[in-house]
Structure 1
Amino acid sequence: MNDNHYNDASGTETIQTVVCPRACRGLPSRDGRDGTPGNDGNPGTDGNPGDDGKPGNDGNPGRDGTPGNNGNPGRDGNPGRDGNPGTEGKPGKDGRDGLHGQNGKDLQGPLGPAGPPGPSMTDDQIKQLIKEHGLPPNTTGGGSVYTRWGRTKCGASSKLLYEGYTAGSHAWHQGGASNYVCLPHDPQWGKYQDGIQNSGPTIHGTEYEMGHYSNDPFQRTNFGGKNFKDQDAPCAVCYTQNRTSHVMIPAWKTCPAEWTLEYHGYLVAQFYTSYRTEFVCLDEAPEGIRGGEKNTNGALFYVVQAKCGQALPCPNYVEGRELTCVVCSK
């Protein structure tokens, strides 16, 4: 048995007798104060990376931007060149021979042999022809005929036989003729059939093409100073009284001594990728046919340029320079 002494809250000492079966235990002690916090431990190893998060929702679309100002219009491109003519098609196969026809009656026989030549034209007949064309009746020394291309009248020293339209084969047709002709204003028909027949060649009026892919050296006095490209070309057939010879001299604009100048101009022909024509002398101040200013093509006039280095000696001739021409009579 043990007596325990302790003071209560008011300070009064109390004696409590405790009976310990074995050994008496003391009263429980109070909690001690917290100890000083220990040092931080070493950092732990990195953990495994977590799973990827789910993708976020799409954001709202942005507003349309303000439209920009309209750009300035571009310049017109240069006109393209005429395309090359297509290749000639292969000839068709020959058809089968037809059946022999029956012998006819009263059919025209084959042509007989040519007869002897008729008498030569007399001086009186020549004078009559000259009179019909309005030439002076005292023509005794003969004369010569030439065509003034691009004009409707002849020079002061010649007489006009007729004026008309310059014509030739179409620029892109392989067949037909290769020369220019002067068609009269009023044709005189023989036997004819209207409508184009496939087997026959055609003839077309001629347009000026100067200034298209090349220089234009011609005077524009008969067009009011304006460009005359695509105008239709007239012509005049002229008679030189008492001068029995005439000549066109390319690359000259004056006549030899004792020859008479009929007119001068520039040498022209067909476009270099078209089918060939002849070289003719186009008057330096051409005229046009009224109402013929549309671009319809047909036969064409292009000014001729010199080409050096291919048997044409230079510097006598100059590369690309337009060639003059002159028509003279004697």
Structure 2
Amino acid sequence: MTSSQTTHFSDNPRHHANTTGAVYVRWGHKECPTSSLLVYSGIAAGAFRGETGNGANQLCLPSDPVYSEPVAGVGASRSFLYAIEYQIDNFPTLSDRLWHDVPCAVCKAPTRFAQLMIPGKNLCPSNEWTLEYRGYLMAERAHSVHQRSMYICVDQEMQTIDRTHGSATGALHALLDLVEGRCVSSGGGLPCGPYVDGYELTCAVCTQ
């Protein structure tokens, strides 16, 4: 890196006005809530659904990558990242997001120091917490040719990346599916009663 280059994502002073704050990813959205500052917006990425190996977590990649002495061509001994697509079936309110790529935003909540993702509930624990966003719990689907991934909270106002619609069949993509709870009254599953078998689980991202 030369002396003329900078390591900052942006020279906008609004992005750097606070030296403290809780940092979190807003999955499925290009912007941060009004309670937070935008660090950068980008593209949700993960491992291809049909490959073993690679990483298990999803990443929010910036839209303006910087490389350092790259070697051209696809390497024989590498881990690979692909864009993530929504794969939402049989859920009418979100069906128009099917096969679109997923945006993301890295946000900082100034003056707050902790962040918490609550699975199974779209509310914060108490008024002492600030709700950054609520959404649906999502991960790779349970299938013999899919690999494990992290569970992430995707904003209920799911946005898409423009001009990315197209079936992932035969394409190299990672996928996100809604997560359902499975309850078993005899034990071994989630407790029936508070949890309903087959209901899609919500989530919330909170800061304090």
Q: Which residue of 2 is the match for residue 165 of structure 1?
A: 43
**Among 222, 239, 252, the residue aligned to 2:121:** 252
What percent of counterpart residues are identical? 35
What is the alpha-carbon distance in structure 2 between the residues aligned to residue 235 and residue 159 of structure 1?
14
SS of the aligned residue for 2:96 comes to: coil
Letter in 1 for 2:152: V
Letter in 2 for 1:270: E
Q: Which residue of 2 is the match for residue 286 of structure 1?
A: 158
Q: Which residue of 2 is the match for residue 301 of structure 1?
A: 176
SS of the aligned residue for 1:227 comes to: helix
For residue 230 of structure 1, report the CA deviation from its aligned partner: 0.2
Question: Given the alignment of the two structures, is residue 277 of structure 1 paired with residue 153 of structure 2, yes or no?
Answer: no
Any conservation in 2 of the 1:305–1:321 contact (CA below 8 Å)?
Answer: yes
TM-score under structure 1 length normalisation: 0.55
- The one-character-per-residue Cα deviations of 1:118-165 (angstroms, maximum 9, x if unpaired) are xxxxxxxxxxx799563377636x211100000000001000000000
For residue 201 of structure 1, report the CA deviation from its aligned partner: 1.2
- The one-character-per-residue Cα deviations of 1:76-97 (angstroms, maximum 9, x if unpaired) are xxxxxxxxxxxxxxxxxxxxxx
Change in Cα spacing, 1:294 to 1:246, as seen in structure 2 (3 Å) is same
For residue 194 of structure 1, report the CA deviation from its aligned partner: 1.6
Q: Which residue of 1 is the match for residue 135 of structure 2?
A: 265
Q: Which residue of 2 is the match for residue 139 of structure 1?
A: 18
- Correspondence list, 1:105-254, <5 A: 132=11, 134-135=13-14, 139=18, 142-211=20-89, 214-218=90-94, 227-254=96-123
TM-score under structure 2 length normalisation: 0.86
Q: Which has the higher contact order (CA 8 A, sep 6+)?
A: 2
Segments of structure 2 that go 5 or more residues without pairing to the other structure are 1-7
What is the alpha-carbon distance in structure 2 between the residues aligned to residue 285 and residue 315 of structure 1?
28
Any conservation in 2 of the 1:145–1:237 contact (CA below 8 Å)?
Answer: yes
SS of the aligned residue for 1:135 comes to: helix
Q: Which residue of 1 is the match for residue 5 of structure 2?
A: none
What is the alpha-carbon distance in structure 1 between the residues aligned to residue 24 and residue 53 of structure 2?
26
- The one-character-per-residue Cα deviations of 1:258-289 (angstroms, maximum 9, x if unpaired) are 10010000000001111100000010011111
What is the alpha-carbon distance in structure 2 between the residues aligned to residue 138 and residue 271 of structure 1?
40
Change in Cα spacing, 1:163 to 1:130, as seen in structure 2 (3 Å) is closer
What is the alpha-carbon distance in structure 1 between the residues aligned to residue 16 and residue 72 of structure 2?
41
What is the alpha-carbon distance in structure 2 between the residues aligned to residue 287 and residue 137 of structure 1?
26
